[in-house]
Amino acid sequence: MGYLLSNLSTGVFFNDNTKLIQDDHKNYYYYERQGADKYDTLIKFNDPPLKVEKKVLIHQRFARYIIGDNEISLSGDPSDKQVYVKKWVKTPHAIMFKLSNHTVQVIFKD
C-alpha cells in the first residue's frame, strides 16, 4: 500500500510488514521488525543498500503515481518528519491506519 502524508513524505507498507518512507528531502527510512520485538528498527540511507533496492523501485513507482504532475504544498507540521503507517486494516466498511505517532485515521465508505 502506497501513501502520501501532509508533510510530503511518501511511503509504502509492504506485505512483509516492512515500511519504506521518503521525506521531501529525498532521504529514505526503512523500518523492519526484528523477531517478536514490538518496535521497528530503522535504517536511514540516501543510496539504497542491496537488500532494499527492489523496494525502493516499487516506492518510486508509487510516489510517481500518487504525486504525478501535481504541485503539492507543504501543509503538515515539520516536526512530523518521521511519521509513517505502522499498521493498516481494510474492512468492508472502512480503512483504518495506525501511524507511528499513535494517531489513528479511519476512512469510512459512504
CATH number at 77 reads 3.30.1120
Residues 6 or more apart whose Cβ sits within 8 Å of residue 68: none
Domain that holds residue 57: 2-108
Q: How much is the pTM?
A: 0.78
Residue with cell 525502493: 56
Q: Provide the domain count of the chain.
A: 1
For the stretch 27-58, pLDDT in tens is 999 999 877 777 888 889 988 889 899 999 99
Give 25 or 107, the one with higher predicted confidence.
107
CA distance 105 to 110: 16
